[in-house]
Amino acid sequence: MQMLSNNIYLIEGPNYGQYPYSNFLYIDDRIQTLVDTGWGNESLNSLGAREIDLIINSHFHLDHRGNNHAFPDARVWAHRLDAPAMRSKDTFVDYVGSFSKEDVGTSHIDESPVHQEFEDNDLICLGEVELQVIHTPGHTPGHCSFFWKDEGILYGGDIDLSKNGPFYGTMASNIDSFISSIKKLKNLNPRIYVSAHKGLITEDIPACLDKYLNHIYEREARILDSLAIPRNLEELTMQKIIARSFGEPEEVNYKLEMYGIIHHLERLMKSGQIIRDGDYYVEARPQGF
Ligand SMILES: [Zn+2]
Ligand SMILES: [Zn+2]
């Protein structure tokens, strides 16, 4: 565990918290708290036998709350929009996309109770530490970041500032929301940024957030370039513009890419930059050319 301030500790997941593991926070305060619980028993080794009163989850994905079951006496809190996908496997599958059930099955999906739902800007007082809920949707509808203003510590969750991100390859993801959320975090001007998959960022945080945001615009520009000639969804997906390569299981990664492309196409159609003709999409050209 790495101390970030008097009360807040970073717990680094195995393999530097890279997926399917993650990094999360332990808060040693009047209310003993975990902000996310990670995935896999070994993630909890450094915590020892500490009793946990409260779990605050950033979102419903298993790499962030797969260990909730290890604390059966703790209360679990999550945002109103992600809580249903924690409580129910079926809603989990609805949020991710039905392929997740067909290709991977649902046996690994652990349901978790959510005892209380929070909203944007709620203040969670743990004793000395007071966390502000920052609703940062896009990755998932109810994704939240948590800010302790006094110390300038921000837990950004899966706004993870990784070179492969942002990730919006599921049914319930939304690129416009993701863009707004990145800007929202930049405005908080944190001193310490905790990324769930990249660890601590303490330097050039606004520039890191800008670079991460630009990944979205770069992908979009490449999709638009590609649509100088008409292409269908499958052709665009196979160009691997978002993921660059499909690791195993390939069919799942193909579908995650496909959802990401669909979200980009919706955005480009809304802004009038492309048009759809049957199964094909093509760049919109000014009339008369
Ligand atoms: Zn996630
Ligand atoms: Zn994650």
**Are residues 165 and 254 both part of a single domain?**
no
Please, which contacts does 116-125 make with residues 24 or more away whose CB atoms are closer than 8 Å? 116/75, 116/76, 116/77, 117/77, 117/78, 117/79, 117/80, 117/83, 118/56, 118/77, 118/78, 118/79, 118/80, 118/144, 119/79, 119/80, 120/144, 124/56, 124/77
pLDDT (tens digit per residue) in 229-286: 999 999 999 999 999 999 888 999 999 999 999 999 999 999 999 999 999 999 998 6
Per-residue confidence band for 287, with pLDDT thresholds at 50, 70 and 90: low
From ligand 2's centre to the CA of 113, what distance in Å?
19
**Are residues 94 and 220 both part of a single domain?**
no
Tell me, yes or no, whether 281 lies in a domain: no
Mean pLDDT of the chain: 96
As a whole-number percent, the residues of the chain with pLDDT over 90 amount to 92
Beta-carbon contacts of residue 276 (< 8 Å; ≥ 6 apart): 265, 269
SS3 70: helix
pLDDT at position 104, please?
Answer: 80
From ligand 2's centre to the CA of 23, what distance in Å?
9
Ligand nearest, relative to CA of residue 137: 1
From ligand 1's centre to the CA of 60, what distance in Å?
7
From ligand 1's centre to the CA of 210, what distance in Å?
20
From ligand 1's centre to the CA of 129, what distance in Å?
25
| Cα–Cα distance measured from residue 156 to residue 14, given in angstroms and rounded to the nearest whole number | 19
From ligand 1's centre to the CA of 59, what distance in Å?
7
Ligand nearest, relative to CA of residue 162: 2
From ligand 2's centre to the CA of 45, what distance in Å?
20
From ligand 2's centre to the CA of 73, what distance in Å?
24
Sign of the four-CA dihedral 86, 19, 164, 228? negative
Tell me, yes or no, whether 279 lies in a domain: no
pLDDT at position 137, please?
Answer: 98
Q: Are residues 58 and 155 in contact, defined by beta-carbon separation less than 8 angstroms?
A: yes
From ligand 2's centre to the CA of 141, what distance in Å?
14
**Are residues 80 and 129 both part of a single domain?**
yes
Tell me, yes or no, whether 287 lies in a domain: no
Q: Please give the tally of structural domains in the chain.
A: 2
pLDDT at position 105, please?
Answer: 84
Residue where one domain finishes, among candidates 198, 213, 228: 213
From ligand 1's centre to the CA of 158, what distance in Å?
5
**Are residues 225 and 188 both part of a single domain?**
no
Structure tokens, 36: 């996310």
pLDDT at position 283, please?
Answer: 97
**Are residues 144 and 254 both part of a single domain?**
no
- Look-up of token digits 């069919």: 251
pLDDT at 46 exceeding the cut of 70: yes
As a whole-number percent, the residues of the chain with pLDDT over 70 amount to 99
Structure tokens, 201: 């960022």
Residue where one domain finishes, among candidates 167, 198, 213: 213
Task: Label the pairing between strands 33-35 and 54-56.
Answer: parallel
| Cα–Cα distance measured from residue 270 to residue 16, given in angstroms and rounded to the nearest whole number | 39
Q: Are residues 175 and 165 in contact, defined by beta-carbon separation less than 8 angstroms?
A: no
Ligand nearest, relative to CA of residue 160: 2
Tell me, yes or no, whether 81 lies in a domain: yes
From ligand 1's centre to the CA of 221, what distance in Å?
25
From ligand 1's centre to the CA of 42, what distance in Å?
19
**Are residues 245 and 135 both part of a single domain?**
no
Tell me, yes or no, whether 130 lies in a domain: yes
The CB density around residue 161, as the number of other CB atoms within 10 Å, is 21
pLDDT at 289 exceeding the cut of 80: no
- Residue 102: which domain range? 2-213
Tell me, yes or no, whether 278 lies in a domain: no
DSSP state of 134: E
Per-residue confidence band for 102, with pLDDT thresholds at 50, 70 and 90: confident
**Are residues 194 and 263 both part of a single domain?**
no
**Are residues 231 and 129 both part of a single domain?**
no
Per-residue confidence band for 98, with pLDDT thresholds at 50, 70 and 90: confident
pLDDT at position 99, please?
Answer: 80
Ligand nearest, relative to CA of residue 143: 1
Structure tokens, 64: 């962030």
Tell me, yes or no, whether 155 lies in a domain: yes
pLDDT at position 285, please?
Answer: 80
SS3 212: helix
From ligand 2's centre to the CA of 19, what distance in Å?
6
Q: What residues does the ion ligand 2 have nearby, CB within 5 Å?
A: 63, 158
**Are residues 34 and 126 both part of a single domain?**
yes
When pLDDT is averaged across residues 141-150 and rounded to a whole number, the result is 98
When pLDDT is averaged across residues 177-192 and rounded to a whole number, the result is 98
| Cα–Cα distance measured from residue 282 to residue 265, given in angstroms and rounded to the nearest whole number | 10
Minimal CA–CA distance to 80: which of 89, 91, 69, 72? 91
**Are residues 29 and 80 both part of a single domain?**
yes
Ligand nearest, relative to CA of residue 170: 1
**Are residues 220 and 97 both part of a single domain?**
no
**Are residues 160 and 236 both part of a single domain?**
no
When pLDDT is averaged across residues 18-43 and rounded to a whole number, the result is 97
Beta-carbon contacts of residue 37 (< 8 Å; ≥ 6 apart): 24, 43, 44, 55, 57, 64, 65, 66, 67, 68, 70, 71
pLDDT (tens digit per residue) in 185-223: 999 999 999 999 999 999 999 999 999 999 999 999 999
From ligand 2's centre to the CA of 111, what distance in Å?
17
Question: Would you put residue 240 in left (φ > 0), alpha (ψ -120 to 50) or beta?
Answer: left
pLDDT at position 63, please?
Answer: 97
Per-residue confidence band for 103, with pLDDT thresholds at 50, 70 and 90: confident
Q: For residue 45, what is the domain's CATH number?
A: 3.60.15.10
SS3 187: helix
User: How far from 257 is each of 208, 239, 250, 283, CA to CA, in Å?
Assistant: 24, 10, 10, 20
